């Protein structure tokens, strides 16, 4: 989901390439794949990953998300499982994106309140929050929606409420704003690798190659170029 007032959807473009095919090296060097535009039936190049330059992020893989994004719902759990399989020196970190939309601010406070309350249940909290907002049409701007998600996830709801207003949660939200600005996040979700690469699944929504395969490719590229040392 693009974080602007104008939404340019290219999700219907069908990517014809696959990382296991002969163009894998080209993809890793350019970040582009070949696709067919269904409206013209012409082949075009789609930029799948970009480059960034954020210092002190060499061992960090971040997943930027919002609760209102359909791709966030689709990939949150899948990418969390993928993140747990990264080399030991890497950290996989979710980051809520804060925009001018009130629901993004509420969602950020909710995520960090849940994360502080019980990290062991954060994946279930995510699943329940997306279920409530995307499937049950609950208001993403309403704190009660996330309270219900915490309750369904088996969290201590009294602690969840208390953690919503702590200084620690406020600082975590402020840090999320800083990170979003540093990475110049324009789409959700966006995966960032080592402060150097960014990957967004929207252009590859109809691809035969799934998001995890692209994430594996770009992470392998980073490791090959930089190793896994924490700097």
Whether this prediction's pTM lies above 0.85 is answered by no
Q: What CA–CA distance (Å, rounded) separates 32 from 115?
A: 35
Q: What CA–CA distance (Å, rounded) separates 155 from 163?
A: 12
- Residue ranges of the alpha helices (H) in the chain? 24-30, 70-83, 102-117, 122-130, 143-152, 157-164, 167-182, 211-226
What pLDDT digit, counting tens, does each position of 52-88 carry? 999 999 899 999 999 998 888 889 999 999 999 999 8
Residue 76, Ramachandran bin (φ over 0: left; ψ between -120 and 50: alpha; else beta) = alpha
Q: What domains are defined for the chain?
A: 31-226 (3.40.30.10)
Q: Residue 7: what pLDDT?
A: 30
What pLDDT digit, counting tens, does each position of 144-172 carry? 999 999 999 999 999 999 999 999 999 99
Q: What CA–CA distance (Å, rounded) separates 151 from 145?
A: 10
Q: What's the mean per-residue pLDDT of the chain?
A: 84
């Amino acid at each position: 989901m693009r974080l602007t007032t104008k939404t340019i959807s290219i999700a219907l473009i069908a990517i014809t390439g696959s990382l296991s095919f002969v163009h894998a090296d080209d993809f890793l060097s350019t970040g582009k794949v070949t696709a067919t535009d269904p409206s013209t039936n012409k082949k075009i190049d789609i930029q799948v990953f970009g480059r960034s330059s954020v210092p002190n992020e060499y061992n960090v893989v971040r997943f930027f998300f919002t609760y209102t994004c359909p791709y966030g719902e689709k990939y949150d759990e899948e990418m969390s499982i993928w993140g747990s399989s990264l080399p030991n020196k890497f950290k996989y970190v979710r980051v809520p994106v804060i925009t001018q939309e009130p629901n993004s601010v509420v969602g950020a406070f909710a995520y960090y309140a849940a994360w502080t309350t019980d990290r062991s249940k954060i994946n279930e909290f995510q699943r329940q929050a997306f279920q409530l907002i995307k499937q049950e049409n609950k208001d993403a701007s309403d704190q009660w929606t996330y309270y219900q998600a915490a309750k369904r996830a088996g969290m201590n709801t009294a602690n969840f409420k208390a953690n919503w207003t702590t200084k620690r949660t406020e600082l975590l939200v402020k840090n999320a704003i800083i990170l979003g600005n540093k990475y110049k996040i324009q789409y959700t979700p966006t995966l960032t690798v080592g402060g150097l690469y960014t990957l967004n699944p929207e252009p590859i929504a109809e691809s035969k190659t799934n998001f995890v395969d692209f994430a594996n490719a770009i992470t392998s590229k980073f490791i090959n170029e930089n190793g896994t040392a924490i700097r």
